[in-house]
Amino acid sequence: MKCSPGFVTVALLMLGQTHGESVTQTEGEVTLSEKASLTMNCTYSASGYPALFWYVQYPGEGPQLLLKASRDKEKGIDKGFEATYNRDSKSFHLEKGSVQASDSAVYYCAMNSARKFIFGTGTRLWVTLDITDPDPAVYQLKSPKSSKTSVCLFTDFDSEKKMPQSQEGTVIMSNGTVLDMRVMDSKSNGVLAWSNSTDFKCNSTFNEKFYSSSDFSCNATLIEKSFETDMNLNAHNLLVMGLRVLLLKVAGFNLFVTLRLWSR
Residue 218, domain CATH: 2.60.40.10
Residue 120 has pLDDT above 90, yes or no: yes
Compute the residue count for the chain: 264
> What integer is the mean pLDDT of 165-172?
57
The pLDDT, as a whole number, for residue 145 is: 67
CA 202 to chain centre: 25
Taking a C-beta distance cutoff of 8 angstroms, is the pair 41, 123 a contact? no
Residue 11 has pLDDT above 50, yes or no: no
What b/e readout covers 78-93, taking b as 16+ CB neighbours within 10 angstroms? eeebbbbbbeeebbbb
Highest mean predicted confidence (pLDDT) among 49-58, 179-188, 247-256: 49-58
- How far apart CA 123 and CA 38 sit, in angstroms, is 12
> What integer is the mean pLDDT of 193-198?
69
Residue 160 sits in the same domain as residue 124: no
The pLDDT, as a whole number, for residue 102 is: 85
Neighbours of 263 (CB within 10 A): 6
How does pLDDT run across 128-160, given as a tens digit for each residue? 876 666 677 777 776 666 666 567 777 776 655
Residue 50 has pLDDT above 80, yes or no: yes
Which residue range forms the structural domain that includes residue 33? 5-128
The pLDDT, as a whole number, for residue 53 is: 96
DSSP category for residue 148: S
Cα diameter, the chain = 85
20-24, 62-66, 201-205, 234-238: which range is least confident on average?
Answer: 201-205
Residue 206 sits in the same domain as residue 162: yes
> What integer is the mean pLDDT of 102-125?
90
Residue 107 has pLDDT above 60, yes or no: yes
Domain assignment present for residue 240? The answer is: no
Taking a C-beta distance cutoff of 8 angstroms, is the pair 207, 124 a contact? no
Last residue in a domain, options 111, 128, 145: 128
Domain assignment present for residue 261? The answer is: no
Residue 23 sits in the same domain as residue 124: yes
Residue 172 sits in the same domain as residue 72: no
**pLDDT band, very low/low/confident/very high, at 42 (cuts 50, 70, 90):** very high
32 HSE (CA, 13 A, CB side): 22
What are the φ/ψ torsions at residue 53 (nearest 5 degrees)?
A: -140, 155
Q: Strand pairing of 38-40 and 94-96?
A: antiparallel
Instruction: Name which of 89, 93, 95, 108 is nearest 45 in CA terms.
Output: 89
Taking a C-beta distance cutoff of 8 angstroms, is the pair 170, 163 a contact? no
Percent of the chain surpassing pLDDT 90: 30
The pLDDT, as a whole number, for residue 215 is: 43
Per the structure, how many domains does the chain have?
Answer: 2
Residue 109 has pLDDT above 70, yes or no: yes
Domain assignment present for residue 12? The answer is: yes
Q: Model pTM greater than 0.85?
A: no
Of 217 and 95, the structure prediction assigns the larger pLDDT to: 95
Instruction: Name which of 137, 205, 139 is nearest 172 in CA terms.
Output: 205
Residue 166 has pLDDT above 50, yes or no: yes
The pLDDT, as a whole number, for residue 16 is: 39
How much is the mean pLDDT over the chain?
Answer: 75
Residue 147 sits in the same domain as residue 114: no
Domain assignment present for residue 182? The answer is: yes
